[in-house]
Structure formats: C-alpha cells, structure tokens
Amino acid sequence: MAASTTSWFARWKSCGKVSGVSVPPLPDAVDVVIVGAGIMGLATAYHLAKEHPRRRILVLDAGYLCGGASGRNGGGVRAQWSSEANVTLMRESLAMCKEFAHEHRINTWFRQGGYLFLARDDKRAQELTQSVELQRRLGLGTELVDGVEAKRIVPQLEPRGVLAASFNGGDAVVFPWPFVWGYAEGARALGVSIHTFCRVHAVETSGGAVSGVVTEHGSVRAPVVVNACGAYSPELARSIGVDLPTKPHRHEICASEPLKPFLGPLVAELGNGLYFSQSTRGEIVGGIGNPKTPEGTSQASSIRFLALYSRALITACPALSSLKIQRQWAGLYDLSPDHAPVVGPVDERPGFYLVSGFMGHGFMMAPAVGKRLARLLATGETPAPFDAWAHRRFKLGTTLSEAMIIG
Ligand SMILES: Cc1cc2nc3c(=O)[nH]c(=O)nc-3n(C[C@H](O)[C@H](O)[C@H](O)COP(=O)(O)OP(=O)(O)OC[C@H]3O[C@@H](n4cnc5c(N)ncnc54)[C@H](O)[C@@H]3O)c2cc1C
C-alpha cells in the first residue's frame, strides 16, 4: 500500500499537477538555465535567443511573472547618474525602453516627462552639480536649476529649501508589467522555455564547475546557470558556496486616486529618497526610503511608510495635501553594499553567473544589462561596465560609489 502511494505521488508530481498548477515536464539537459523570470532573467534570455541563437535556454521561476520586484516597481527610467558608466548604459537602456512597444507589439505606457531631482543640503547640491556637469559633458541635455526655476517646471512644487535641482526632459516613466510580458513572449517565440512555479533549490557542481540545477520538479543538467533571483540571489549563491554580499530589503510604494494630469516629470529627492510621478491614468505613484526598515524578505505594507511618504510629499508639493491614497504595496530591493550591481561570472565557480544587486534601479537597467549579459554568455567577451561590477571586487576592495540613488 505504501509503495503504491509513493509511485502514484511520483507519477502525479512528474506529470506536473502540483497545488493545482500545471507544470510541463522539464528537459533533462539544456545549454543555459536562467533562474528567475524577472526583468533581468527574461531580458537576458530574450537577447541570448535573439542575437546568439541555437542555444537551448530554460528560464525557471519559483512564482509567477511579475511576482518579484519587476512587477512591483515605480517604472522610473532615467539617464541622470553620477558616473560615466551608468549614464552611458542608461542612455542605451532608455532608447531600448522607448523602442520596446514597437519591437514587442505591446503598449508600455512610455511617458517621457523627464526627471526632476531635488537637493536640500550642501553635500547633495554639490554632488548634483557635479553629476549634471558630467551628464552634459556626455551629451545629455540635463539642466541645473535652483528652486525657483524648478517651480517653473513643476508649478505645484514648494521651492523653499531646495538648494539645487536637475532636470532632464528625456527621462521617462513606464508601466513595468508589459516589459516583463513582452520579454517573456519574445523569448518564447524564439524557442526559450519558461517554467513558472518551479523553485530551484540548488545549483549543482561537478569538479567545482556548474553542472545543473535541482528544482522542486526534478533536476536539469546545464554547464551554465545564471542567478537572476533578484533579492533572493544570495540564497541561490549560497547553495553553491558563493558568498554574495547583497541583502534583501523591503521597499514600499503606493498609488493615489486618479487626478487630472498636471505633473510632467518624476520628482525625486536625493536626501530622503522621496519620489513621485503621475501615471497615464492620473494616479500619483510614489515611495520613499525608510532607513529603519530591517533587512529581510517581508513584503508587508506599513502605516509608518504612509506617514513618512505623506509628510515628505506634502512638504515637496503642498497642493497634494488632501490626496487620497488608494493602494499600497511593497517589493524587495536587492541591496548592494556599494550601491552598484554585481554582474558576470564568479571566478571560483566556472559556469555560474550573477545579475544581482540592482536595488531600486534594476528595471531601467535591464534592457541594456540583459543585452550585454547575453553577449558575455555567448562570446565570453566582457562588455563595459561588467569589469567594474564583477563579484571579485569585494575581495579586491575595488568597490564603487554612485551619488544618484533613490530609496
Ligand atoms: C517598490 C519598488 C520600486 C522600484 N522602483 C524602480 C524604478 O522606478 N525604476 C527601476 O529601474 N527600478 C525600480 N525598482 C527596482 C527594480 O524593480 C528591480 O531592481 C528589478 O525589478 C530587479 O529585477 P530582477 O529580475 O533582478 O528581480 P525580480 O523581479 O525580483 O525577479 C526575481 C525572480 O526570481 C524568482 N526567484 C527567486 N528565487 C528563486 C528560486 N530559488 N528559484 C526560482 N526562482 C526564484 C522570483 O520569484 C522572481 O520572480 C523598484 C523596486 C521596488 C521594490
């Protein structure tokens, strides 16, 4: 009786009926397994299949598409950064976001209203000034303005206390979900297999090199595994003995009732991490950094966030003092110790690749990063800025810094 129960259970599992979710059988072996079907994993799969075909690519996700940070973010896409590498990367990514709707035949609600950054203390005003100088040297049309001029860009803004502001009209806001769906559909059409509700328990090795993955629905052999697990990346890395020093960190966000369109740019404050924009449906979508949020994978919503956000929002934009919040939710940042991503191969584990540590800006970077990572996987060539973003920098002590971080 016990034996027949076991074999019935094994058959039931192998035909994929788990918790009412139909899971197609996994292949025995592929060329590349990408763990995580967020924007990073899917962009990488899509570009690998499109630009470097003839590889068997499998994408596995523990949950559903848009279940991770890629389905929970604010959709901000900007080229305003403080380092040449990030400005260059993000100019390319912005252009790819703009083209995405056309390429993937899906509406992305791409709205190029610009980003207006505000600095309220001397240190940040100085950093902002230097960043604008760099951006202009690199050919961006960013303007450095004072509080009064910032109010000309957003008339509802309270200019008192704003020491410097920067505006780049080319920055944009999108609705994130169509990017996830577009990449997934595009990848599938090119032959990529995407399995949702299939958690990867561990990466397997043979002689120190990657040999496959063990999932909740069986094992798959592969010489290359990409860790695109977002805030869960350190967990998967640990399964193969790799210390990835990024940490999961909850970030809360909310959307208001729809208002008549009035707000052109996304407004962001460098000090407290406040940001807000108006969606094409009229909602004010925004969030704020909360340094007191402990590290961890909780995605709960809090009253404290609402208090912090509304206080900062009303200070920046008093006209919004009677705004009604309709929805709030949270997602996880994959927080990197030096605020820079961790991307590329891991020296001590041949075949194991990272695309982690993107904090509050991975969505906007994914198109350009996915394309570059695909090239690295296909050719072994390390594109800029992956050398600087390498995992080994933590051992070498060559960490980075970036001043234009939100949240
Ligand atoms: C509230 C909020 C606002 C943000 N705003 C912006 C913004 O305006 N602009 C911007 O550019 N970025 C923003 N971000 C950051 C951005 O969303 C992330 O950097 C980006 O989505 C990360 O993508 P990802 O694919 O690495 O991770 P995710 O989208 O989190 O995807 C990781 C996937 O891996 C899967 N997974 C994890 N572990 C396993 C496992 N063991 N086996 C199988 N699958 C697994 C998960 O289910 C998940 O689907 C924001 C983030 C949050 C939370």
**Mean pLDDT, residues 289-310:** 95
Question: Smallest Cα–Cα separation from 101: which of 334, 285, 229, 280?
Answer: 280
In the predicted structure, residue 10 carries a pLDDT above the cut 70: no
How far away, in angstroms, is 160 Cα from ligand 1 center? 36
Burial of 381 (0-12, 13-18, 19+ CB in 10 A): exposed
In the predicted structure, residue 162 carries a pLDDT above the cut 60: yes
Give pLDDT tens digits for 101-121: 999 999 999 999 999 999 999
Topology, domain 26-110+171-246+337-407: FAD/NAD(P)-binding domain (3.50.50)
CATH of domain 111-170+247-335: 3.30.9.10
Burial of 20 (0-12, 13-18, 19+ CB in 10 A): exposed
Name every protein residue with a CB atom under 6 angstroms from any ligand 1 atom.
Answer: 35-41, 60-63, 67-70, 72-76, 199-200, 228-232, 236, 251, 253, 287, 331-333, 358, 360-364
In this prediction, residue 21 carries a pLDDT of 53
| Most informative mutation of 110, 363, 402 for ligand 1 (most atoms within 8 A of CB) | 363
Per-residue DSSP letter, 318? G
How far away, in angstroms, is 340 Cα from ligand 1 center? 15
Half-sphere exposure of 65 (CA within 13 A, CB side): 17
For the whole model, what pTM was predicted?
0.94
How far away, in angstroms, is 72 Cα from ligand 1 center? 8
> Angle CA(114)–CA(117)–CA(123) in degrees, nearest 5?
155
| Most informative mutation of 213, 267, 358 for ligand 1 (most atoms within 8 A of CB) | 358
Contact between residue 54 and residue 30 where contact means Cβ atoms under 8 Å apart: no
Give pLDDT tens digits for 342-359: 999 999 999 999 999 999
**Mean pLDDT, residues 257-267:** 97
Question: Smallest Cα–Cα separation from 87: which of 403, 375, 354, 359?
Answer: 403
70 CB-near residues (< 8 Å, 6+ apart): 38, 39, 40, 176, 179, 180, 230, 362, 363, 366
In this prediction, residue 399 carries a pLDDT of 85
Residue ranges covered by each domain of the chain: 26-110+171-246+337-407, 111-170+247-335
